[in-house]
Every structure is written in structure tokens, then in C-alpha cells.
Amino acid sequence: LPEKLVNDWLAKNSVYAEPCYLLAIGKAACAMASVAINRLTVEKALVITKHGHDLAIKGCQVLTADHPVAGQQ
């Protein structure tokens, strides 16, 4: 579902400038970022997501963090 929402939004709206920077944060961030990277010309991309929700995305730095309470990682 997050992938479809991002895809639909990008299809209906124009991006102001490309190449662009991409920042995605949250549990669905990897899924949404992968769609955006495939549709846009992205210069740099950073995703921050919950441990266990990370995916390898070409051209994107993916960081994981504790959620919802910060831990020692």
C-alpha cells in the first residue's frame, strides 16, 4: 500500500527540480523510497527505518534505529 500511494502521488504531481535529494523516515520508508528512486532522478538518498524493516536499495544509504523507544543501538 505505501508503494502504491507514493507511485500515485508522483504520477499526479510534479517535482520541482531534478536531480533531487530523497529522505524517507519510518517503518515503510524503504518501500516508499524504492518507488521514488525508480520514478525520479535522485542525486542522494537517505532512509531511516526500524530494525528489521530495512531493504537494500541501489543508490540509497539505509540506516536502522530502535522504535518506538530509543535503545542502545
In the prediction, which pLDDT does 3 show? 92
Query: How does pLDDT run across 40-68, given as a tens digit for each residue?
Result: 999 999 999 999 899 999 999 999 988 77
In the prediction, which pLDDT does 66 show? 84
**Rounded Cα–Cα distance for residues 11 and 25 (Å):** 21
Query: How does pLDDT run across 6-26, given as a tens digit for each residue?
Result: 999 999 998 778 899 999 999
Residue among 21, 14, 55 at smallest CA distance from 37: 21
> Largest alpha-carbon pair distance within the chain?
41
